[in-house]
A and B are shown apart, each in its own frame.
Chain A
Amino acid sequence: MGHRLNDRQTAPGASPAASIETLRLRARVIAQIRVFFQHQGVLEVETPVCSRAATTDPAIESLVTRYTGPGAPAGLPLYLHSSPEFPMKRLLAAGSGPIYQICKVFRDGEAGRLHNPEFTLLEWYRPGFDHHRLMDEVERLVGGLMPEPAVARRLSYRALFQQRLQIDPHPATAEQLRNCALQQGVPGVDRLELPHRDAWLDLLMTHCIEPAMEPGLCFVYDYPASQAALSRVRPGSPPLAERFELYLDGIELANGFHELTDAAEQQRRFERDLQARAAAGQPVVPMDRRFIAALDGGMPECAGVALGIDRLIMRLAGVDHIEQVIAFPLSRA
């Protein structure tokens, strides 16, 4: 193997944060993913990184840039995508059939051990699948990339909370969830003010459940309807979001939906998000009306999932900071 670039360091932060060995592993894994989808007959696509519309999700802030020139002489704000979801669904509505994309996505305000403001996402869509059938495929893909055979556990969101915290997350009030966090000894809960019930669920998930998860792959599915995002909600008591997450060693790796295809419901959710943004003083961003129009024109029933490549590489490389798998993370970008 040739000499490492690190040896030629000339200024602090000039050398890559990831080792060349890790970058080779990264390239190998991405190549394997492409082979997997080629064998499955899933088409690789590209969609715009910069869009006129942004995600409305109040938990995700988009980075913004600006284009000025032919087509927009007065200048046009463009939002860097936080996931390629909307344009990929427009392709599905146009009859693309199953598609996947590997791309950089961007999120403002997110940097830490498991976050870099730009990161690599693998996102794919399967017409005719529901979220359970897509979990099977995620398991085949991720399991096939693991050095040892891996069988994923599957637990509903409710079962997960009941097993670990002896609380049913669906009927629990914010006050009950707060008391649960107090009992669990989450430090500083007595002084913590959170905006809504879902934030308390997120606190319990990140502080009590994730750290106690067994090693290996674990799917969590059927989320509270209030956390449906872009998934369909199955009527019932309580209604449940047909959404899943994949955890690897307690780290969130992928998020998937049995996709909402109802244009009117999608528009209502966007509007609700924007109201929540306005109320919280967050930027009220333009919703993707072309995406709504595509849903209105008819998008096939499908399931879709987004998987964080960097975190997957972290596990395969055996490192515990996302900077160790990215050549030039934020601190060196």
Chain B
Amino acid sequence: MATYSTSEFKGGLKIMLDGDPCSIIENEFVKPGKGQAFSRVKIRNLKTGRVIERTFKSGDSVEAADVMEMDLQYLYSDGEFWHFMHPDTFEQVSADAAAVGDSVKWLKDQDMCTVTLWNGTPIIIEVPNFVNLTITETDPGLKGDTSGGGGKPATLETGAVVRVPLFVQTGELIKVDTRSGEYVSRAKEE
């Protein structure tokens, strides 16, 4: 089993901690001039997203986590699992709801996603920063209403609800920022 010693610690290194795969965010070398050296580490638990701190004695080693990131294409959901495919090898993996998390709101068939795999199983699904989605339902806006204000809610094909300007109508394709969940602009069909 592969291990890493504290002198190999650096941002991005994937290690096992308390049974969960984690990613090192930051490693600080701490040592009194005439005393014990430590590694003070900030770590993100890749399953829960939680950031924790941990102190190791210099020279200690930890188990490496078999974690990799791949760009995969979203195929479909069967209600329990979300299925993704490698566009070159056609290899498929399925992610559970915990892995998909909030990304479910933006997942559209055939979109490419960044999938983090631990021991071959998806644990994080990241959607692109911007996605184009069709509005399935929104109130008709009043023509000529250009008042600043809040716009109106619109339901998208994935079920997500975003606020859009009043002039945008049902059936239109819009560009959304998935990080903020905000409308960016109208989009053209690809």
Contact = CB atoms under 8 A, between A and B. Distances in A.
Interface in A128-154: none
Contacts of A199: 35-36, 57
A249 interface: no
B187 interface: no
Interface string B30-56: 111111111010000000000011111
B7 interface: yes
Given A192-B57, A194-B57, A202 B32 contact: yes
Nearest to A83: B33
A229 B34 CA distance: 8
Interface string A192-216: 1111001101110111000000000
Nearest to A185: B53
Contacts of A192: 55-57
A65 to B, nearest CB: 21
B91 to A, nearest CB: 36
B31 A203 contact: no
A199 B31 CA distance: 10
Interface string A111-142: 11111000000000000000000000000000
Contact-residue size bin, chain A (C-beta under 8 Å from the other chain): 20 to 34
B8 interface: no
B136 interface: no
B36 A227 contact: no
B4 to A, nearest CB: 16
B138 to A, nearest CB: 48
Given A186-B55, A187-B54, A188-B55, A60 B34 contact: yes
B32 A193 contact: no
A187 B53 contact: yes
Given A187-B52, A188-B54, A202 B36 contact: yes
9 contacts: A59-B31, A110-B31, A188-B53, A192-B55, A199-B36, A199-B57, A202-B35, A207-B40, A227-B34
Interface of B: 7, 28-38, 40, 52-58
Interface of A: 57, 59-60, 109-115, 186-189, 192-195, 198-199, 201-203, 205-207, 227, 229, 245, 252, 255
